Structure 1
């Protein structure tokens, strides 16, 4: 097994293990994206000659420092994401030469964002964004209830379904799916080396996550009204994932198909 294949397999298993221990979605997202990029760009992993140079020293130092972030608390919690990122970055520096700057940039970005996320300013910004998404989603859900004239009372972010209250909280805001879409779109743009127009269209697709999330919550309320709250809770965990995957697939397929048609028309015009 080649060194690059071992590193890719290790990065994936290391990510899964840490997620199982700490249950940090941020770590999982970045780790899986990093493993995927490593696999797709494995030809860019150039083994470093075994010699004690600056890259090796830096790599060893990063791996030695990384466990500190599992012990030292930043606010209420430690930072397993920073440990994950620095350890993988250090291991990369020891075994490979930097020929593709995007590869080490992913764990570096993970470490920086993980540390910034521990600051009060970041927490205030996230809370503001979360409430903004909650308010927009609640407004859209109320609009759907009015359009379909359903006997569901809703005030603010609280809906009354028969005799039960359903609250559109931070976990239902759709902000996490919005951010995940942007990260996935940036990855696709990088891998395809997209033009500005294609990149813009792919990123604009993130706006569709907001009404999609409102439709998801509205659908859950309808299920709860007709079939009971137990059915609402049953569909709550998986409906959003299915809708998100279907939306991303269909939207990206439409954008890439349109781009292919435009290129075909340009070739015909040129000929």
Structure 2
């Protein structure tokens, strides 16, 4: 058991929502009215089904996005997402964590649109103290536009792990002892967006967005958080307690690593 001796806050809480393999249970736990703010898109982002569904849309004028109402230091963050169907080339759907301070930290999942019939590319990255260049890309092994799938980020003092449907696909370990920056002391919000990036997203920008297919729409059905603490302020990171056998990534899925 690892802990921070400097902790002076004791109001830890167990759950905002229980992680569940059941899609119906997960859906009932979500409330986009309660958990997020729509931040841009001029009506292109919509909360539906009594707060259990959120859609983001993109047309030639604008995309759309939302952010979490709260900020967090450490936790597991799950979202159930159905990506843009059909010819989604040029579009990017994102789910990421980032702080509001001047120093750039970011834990990034980006889904790069494709031509019909081609696999979606999942682009992952970790920024810490302004340092990035840690991209890894994977082909998804299913059609993520047909059904909802669960995408997760585990962030704790040991490591960052990216998951697809509960399967760990990438692990970024804390190597601060070796001089590698790691996001530890900035509270982060959760962000998501759908936007046009046809200058690079599909085949390096060779395939452009087909606006005759617009509007493009991605749907979010669940927004679940498993946290160790309620964030009171940035100094509250000292309250985090890490259990010895917390979720790890001993075996990563055998995906084709693109980059």
The question of a shared fold, defined as TM-score above 0.5 by the shorter chain, is answered with: no
Based on CA coordinates, which of the two structures has the bigger radius of gyration? 1
- Which structure has more relative contact order (CA 8 Å, sep 6+)? It is 2
Bigger proportion of residues as strand: 2
Bigger proportion of residues as helix: 1
Q: Which of the five TM-score ranges fits, normalised by the shorter chain?
A: under 0.3
